[in-house]
Structure 1
Amino acid sequence: MMRKIVIGFFISFCLVAQAQFWTETTSGFPANFTGLSKFHVVDANLAWAIGYDGFNTANNIQQFSKTDDSGFTWTAGVFDLGDTTLGISDLSGVDSNTAFVAAYPRQAGQQGGIWKTIDAGVTWTQQTAASFNNAASFPNIVHYFDANNGLAIGDPTNGYWEIYTSNNGGATYSRLPSASLPAPLNNETGYLAQFAHSGDSIWFTTSAGRIVHSANRGVTWSVYQSPLSDFGGTTIFGDLSFATANRGVIQDNTGNIFKTTDAGQTWNGVVFSGTGAPYGGAISYLPNTFHMVSTGGEANFAGSSYSLDDGTTWINIDTDQHVDVAFFNDTVGYSGSFSNTTNNLGVFRYTGSVLNEASVAELVEVQLFHNNRTEQLEISTDQLFKKVRIYDLHGRMVLTSTNKLIHTNLIRSGVYIAQIFTDSGRKTSKFIKH
C-alpha cells in the first residue's frame, strides 16, 4: 500500500555544503526537482536508489540512480518495465549490474510484480514466478539478502500476506503458505519500501501499527504491536531501523523515539536531550553500533541530526530538506535531496568524522564544568581519562585535548558538545560558553 506523500517541496540555492557532515553532489537526473529516496546500500562503494517527482509527487516517473564509487558520482537510469504507468515500490541491488525492482498497480486492471536487471538497469525482465496476479495484489517490498536469496512482500490477498521467496536469484519463486504467516487484521496492509533488515532478519510495517518479523530470511514469521497505531497514516506515521538482530528503533513523524532490545516484541519510549532532536522523517542506525542519524523532509520540519549514544542525546546537523537516509558503516552513508542541474545537487554523501568512533552500550560517570570567568573547561571522572573532543552545533570539531583542564579562550561564545573518552567508554555532554 502507498502512504500519501505529504512532503512540501522547497529548495535552497545556497552552495555552502554541510562539509563537516554532509556534502551534496549531483544525483545524475536530467530534470530539476527529482527527489532521491529508498536507498539500498549494497557495500562501501555501491548503492542504488529510486527517483520521484519532487515538484508534483502525483506525477509518476520510473527512474533510478546508482553510485559505484561511494557516492562521489551517480548515474541515473530508467526502469523500462513495459508499462510507464506502474508505480515504483522498492529497489534491491545485488551488485553493480544486478538489481530487482518491485512495481505496483496505479490503475484498475494493472498488474504489478518484480523485475530484474543484469546489465546495470539498461533492460529489466519481469520475474513472472512472483506473480502478484490477484486483483488485490500490491507489491510493497523486494529484498535480496545475497545474489540468490530474496523476498518479495505484498499486501494480503486471499486472506494472508502475499510473500514470495526465491533461492536462485529470481529464476523461481514460491509463495509462502498461510500457515507460515501471522494472520492479517481486517483491512491491514503494508507500505512501500517500509522495512528494515539486519543479517538474516527482516521486519516490515503495517497500517495497523504492527511489525511483521522473520529471523531466518522469511522461513518463519512473527508479528508484534508497535507503539504506533499506523506506520503510514496521513496524521501519524513512522520509520524503523535495526542495528542488530535484536536492537532497533522507531521514529514517528513528530520526532518521538522508541527502542527495542528483543527484535521488536516490546518497545520503550526514549527521553532524549541535547542540542538537536529527531526530525520525524527517516531514521537509520549505523549497523552494529549505537549511532543513528535522523532526517526530515517535511517543509516545516526539515533537517538532519545524529545521536552517538543510542538515541539518548541528539546533535543537530542542518535544517536542509532530507527525504531519506541510509548508512552502510561509519564512513559511508547517504541522504536524499532534490536534483538541481544548475548547481549539480541532488544527494547528500556523508563526509564527516563524528560517527567514526567505536560505540559503547553504557555512558560512563563523567562531570563537566565550564567556568566562563576563567574560560576553562574542567572534566571530572573516576575513570581513566583519555581525551575530549569538542564540536559546535554544526558537527564541526573545534578543539581536541588529552588534558582534563582545557582553556576555551580561543573558541567563540555559543553552545558546544563535548565527547569525553575514558577507559570505560564515552559520554557526550553539552556546555555553554558566554
Structure 2
Amino acid sequence: MRRLGSTRRRGRTSRVVAAGVACGAALAALTVGPAEARPLGHRAPHWDLKDTGASAVRFRGLSAVDRRTAWLAGTGGTVLRTTDGGARWRNVSPPGSADLEFRDVEAFDARRAVVLAIGEGEASRVYRTDDGGATWTESFRNNDPKSFYDCLAFFDRRHGLAMSDPVDGRFRILSTSDGGRSWRVLPAAGMPPALDGEAGFAAGGQCLVTSGSADVWLATGGGADARVLHSADRGLTWTAAGTPLPAGDPARGVFALAFRDRTHGLAVGGDYRPGRPSPRAAAGTSDGGRTWRPAATAPPAYRSGVAWLPHSRTAALAVGPTGTDLTTDAGRTWRTIDTGSYDTVTCTPDLSCWAAGEQGRVARLES
C-alpha cells in the first residue's frame, strides 16, 4: 500500500529435545496468567533479542522454519538467515537489491525461500533461492505501473499467491504452481470490486494468509470499511466481509491476519500513525471470515502482526510498535506482556515463536 511507511548424534539430539521442551514451557507459561499464578522461581516468558548486526534495517518480513532456522527481509534490499537459533546471522541479500524494499519472505526450509519487494511498477519483484541465499533468481518483475504488490503466501511448497493493490478497481492476484519460479496474473472476474481508497498494507507480511490446500484471506484498509476477502479455490473467486476494525481513513484498516484452521481466525490493525487511538484493534472469526466479532478487550494500540501459538486452540500473540499482546481465549480479550517494538510475529510447529521489527530487532520467545 503506497500510504504505509517509507514504506544427528545422540548428544546433539538431546540438546534439541531439551531446547524444544524449554521453549514449550515458555509458551505454556504464557497462558498461566499473572506472575503470582506461576510457580515460585519460574521466570516469565520474554522476548530474547538476537544480534543481527543490522541496526539500520527494519525487518517487516519474517519466516521461521523452526526454532533454529529463520529468514528475515527488510529495508535496503536486506535478507538475513540463521540456522542456529539466532546466534549468528548471514547476510544473503540478492545482488543489486540495495534500492529495494523487501516486505515479505516465505521460507520452505534452510535452503529454499521466496522474497517479495514492494513498490510501484518495477519496484515490485519476487526472488527465489534454492541454495540458502548463495544465489537468487528474479522470478517476477511487475511491468504494470498501476500495480503495487504487498504480500505473498503459500499453501504448500509449490502453490502460492501474491496480492497487489487494486488495478482497474479490483485487487490483483499473482499465482505460482512451481514454488515461486514462475508467476501468472489470475483473472479478475472472481474478485469483488474494491471500495474507494481501499488497498492492502505491506506492514508485516501478513495481509495475505493461507490455511490448508485452498483457503486464502486478504486484509484491506483505507476504505470506508476495513474488510477481509476470502477465497476457497486458491484465489480464483472471492467474497468480502466487513470487520469492526477502524476504517474510513488511508491509515486505518486490517493489517494482519492469522488462521489456525479454515474457520478460526484473528485480525489485527488499527491506525498506524503514532499516537493515534485504535480502540478496536482486534477481531476474531469462527466461520472462516464470513463474520467478525470485535475483541471485548482489544490491544491498547495499533498492531501489525499476529500469530497463533503452536498447537493451541485459544492462545495467540499480536505485535506492533508499542508492544506485544497475548490472548488465551481465541481473541476475545488481550493483555500486554511486552512493550518492545515489533512489526511481525510467527510461530512454528516445534514450539518456537519469533518477532522482528525496526532497528534490526529480532527476538525469539524464551523462558
Q: Which has the higher helix share?
A: 2
Per-residue Cα deviation, 1:393-431 (whole angstroms, up to 9, x for no partner): xxxxxxxxxxxxxxxxxxxxxxxxxxxxxxxxxxxxxxx
For the pair 1:118 / 2:127, whether they are aligned, the reply is no
Q: Which position in structure 2 is the counterpart of 1:66?
A: 81
Q: CA deviation at 1:235?
A: 5.4
Aligned counterpart for 2:318 among listed residues 294, 313, 329: 294
For the pair 1:95 / 2:109, whether they are aligned, the reply is yes
The structure 1 segments of at least 4 consecutive aligned residues displaced by more than 6 Å after TM superposition are none
For the pair 1:309 / 2:329, whether they are aligned, the reply is yes
Give distance in 2, aligned partners of 1:34 and 1:173.
Answer: 28
Give distance in 2, aligned partners of 1:259 and 1:27.
Answer: 34
Q: Which position in structure 1 is the counterpart of 2:220?
A: 206
Aligned counterpart for 2:208 among listed residues 192, 195, 199: 195
Q: CA deviation at 1:187?
A: 4.2
TM-score (norm 2): 0.75
Q: Is the 8 A contact 1:48 1:91 kept in 2?
A: yes
Q: Is the 8 A contact 1:149 1:168 kept in 2?
A: yes
Give distance in 1, aligned partners of 2:65 and 2:248.
Answer: 25
Give distance in 2, aligned partners of 1:33 and 1:87.
Answer: 13
Give distance in 2, aligned partners of 1:252 and 1:244.
Answer: 21
Change over 3 Å in CA distance of 1:126–1:252 after alignment to 2: closer
Q: CA deviation at 1:159?
A: 4.4
Per-residue Cα deviation, 1:355-397 (whole angstroms, up to 9, x for no partner): xxxxxxxxxxxxxxxxxxxxxxxxxxxxxxxxxxxxxxxxxxx
Q: SS of 1:177's equivalent? A: coil
Per-residue Cα deviation, 1:221-240 (whole angstroms, up to 9, x for no partner): 22222223549833566433
Q: Which has the higher strand share?
A: 1
Per-residue Cα deviation, 1:318-374 (whole angstroms, up to 9, x for no partner): 32233322222482101225558xxxxx3221124xxxxxxxxxxxxxxxxxxxxxx
Give distance in 2, aligned partners of 1:339 and 1:186.
Answer: 34
Per-residue Cα deviation, 1:290-310 (whole angstroms, up to 9, x for no partner): 10112231xxxx222322222
For the pair 1:260 / 2:260, whether they are aligned, the reply is no
Q: Which position in structure 1 is the counterpart of 2:354?
A: 334
Give distance in 2, aligned partners of 1:233 and 1:39.
Answer: 25
Q: SS of 2:237's equivalent? A: coil
For the pair 1:34 / 2:34, whether they are aligned, the reply is no
Give distance in 2, aligned partners of 1:169 and 1:159.
Answer: 28
Q: Is the 8 A contact 1:337 1:348 kept in 2?
A: no
Change over 3 Å in CA distance of 1:79–1:136 after alignment to 2: farther
Change over 3 Å in CA distance of 1:104–1:294 after alignment to 2: closer
Q: CA deviation at 1:63?
A: 0.9
> Which AA in structure 1 matches 2:201?
Y
Change over 3 Å in CA distance of 1:202–1:347 after alignment to 2: same
Q: Is the 8 A contact 1:27 1:76 kept in 2?
A: no
Q: CA deviation at 1:111?
A: 4.5
Q: Is the 8 A contact 1:19 1:351 kept in 2?
A: no
For the pair 1:155 / 2:170, whether they are aligned, the reply is no
Give distance in 2, aligned partners of 1:233 and 1:96.
Answer: 37
- Greater Cα offset, 171-180 or 313-322: 313-322
Change over 3 Å in CA distance of 1:337–1:164 after alignment to 2: closer
Q: SS of 1:178's equivalent? A: coil
Aligned counterpart for 2:185 among listed residues 146, 154, 175: 175
Change over 3 Å in CA distance of 1:232–1:327 after alignment to 2: farther
Q: Is the 8 A contact 2:81 2:92 kept in 1?
A: no
Aligned counterpart for 1:51 among listed residues 49, 64, 74: 74
For the pair 1:144 / 2:154, whether they are aligned, the reply is yes
For the pair 1:134 / 2:144, whether they are aligned, the reply is yes
> Which AA in structure 1 matches 2:211?
S
Give distance in 1, aligned partners of 2:169 and 2:151.
Answer: 19
Q: Is the 8 A contact 1:243 1:290 kept in 2?
A: no
Q: Is the 8 A contact 1:206 1:231 kept in 2?
A: no
Per-residue Cα deviation, 1:90-144 (whole angstroms, up to 9, x for no partner): 21112211111112336xx64422111122123221114xx52112121212222
Written as runs of structure 1 = structure 2, the 5 A alignment for 1:73-92 is 73-80=87-94, 82-92=96-106
Identity %: 27
Q: CA deviation at 1:177?
A: 0.8
> Which AA in structure 2 matches 1:91?
V
Change over 3 Å in CA distance of 1:121–1:211 after alignment to 2: same
Per-residue Cα deviation, 1:215-264 (whole angstroms, up to 9, x for no partner): 33334322222223549833566433222211112233325332111111
- Greater Cα offset, 223-232 or 32-41: 223-232
Written as runs of structure 1 = structure 2, the 5 A alignment for 1:402-413 is none
User: How many residues are aligned here?
Assistant: 316
For the pair 1:223 / 2:246, whether they are aligned, the reply is no
Q: Is the 8 A contact 1:27 1:65 kept in 2?
A: no
Q: Is the 8 A contact 1:279 1:295 kept in 2?
A: no
Give distance in 1, aligned partners of 2:65 and 2:169.
Answer: 34
Higher RCO (Cα < 8 Å, 6 or more apart): 2
Q: CA deviation at 1:266?
A: 0.8
> Structure 1: any 5+ residue segments left out of the alignment?
8-17, 53-60, 341-345, 353-434
Give distance in 2, aligned partners of 1:142 and 1:235.
Answer: 21
Give distance in 2, aligned partners of 1:136 and 1:78.
Answer: 30
Give distance in 1, aligned partners of 2:189 and 2:253.
Answer: 31
RMSD after superposition: 3.1
